[in-house]
Amino acid sequence: MEPYDEQKAMDEAWKFLRRNTTATLRFGEHLQDVSYVLCHDGSMVIPVMVAMLQPQDMVMYVPEYAEDCMEMHVSLEQFSEEGEGGACVDRWQMYHGEPPDVQWAKVVIDAARFHEMFVDGEGLRRANELAKDEPVLCKEANSDSANLTRVCAKVSNVEVASPTLVGIDPLGIDIRARFGIVRLEPEVPFVEKEQVVRFISGDA
């Protein structure tokens, strides 16, 4: 049996969290399906019902409540979509459209269990090092929808009509499709924007 590698466990859990955008939130005796985004500072954001904002034990299951899910003990911090919070709200809407609720909260991860590995929640909040390049790269990529369709088919074998690139981070890119988010991941993480350009062009 391999010795426990805390950093490896954290990296694998972070990659899994990045790879998904949906979860089931358990608050009290209730279960609620939610969609999330990870903002550029690494914080997780979801729209919430007022009942979720009451002090109580909370567990989030990613991507859903199932046997092989990631289980995270969390708490919620409400924020306003006015001011700085507006960027996170805009990002959520780019990924998921109109929210089902009008309240917004950041998900604070206390600890997580993934594939029988336990990781500290602080390690699951990582800033996006490609944030400054994302707007221009997305705009350029979305000017050629046919190319994005080809890249989706090449990398993930998924046919996506009218794809829209909505997110870029070192571990991959997020394509919004009519049926949800398609995650495309490079074999080696992106370090600079030129690698992203090659990947999106289909040359990587």
Angle at 121 between CA 115 and CA 124, to 5 degrees: 80
Contact 79, 39 (CB under 8 A): no
Contact 34, 22 (CB under 8 A): yes
Q: What is the pLDDT of residues 107-135, one digit of tens each?
A: 999 999 998 888 999 989 999 999 999 99
Q: What local confidence, expressed as pLDDT, does residue 28 receive?
A: 87
Q: Which two tokens stand for residue 77?
A: 């911090």
φ, ψ dihedrals at 68, nearest 5°? -105, 25
Q: How far apart are CA 179 and CA 3, in angstroms?
A: 40
pTM reported for the whole predicted model: 0.92
Q: How far apart are CA 39 and CA 41, in angstroms?
A: 5
- The alpha carbon of 48 is separated from its chain's Cα centroid by a whole number of angstroms, namely 17
Sequence-distant (6+) residues with CB within 8 A of 179 are none
User: In the structure, what pLDDT confidence band is assigned to residue 194 with cuts at 50, 70 and 90?
Assistant: very high
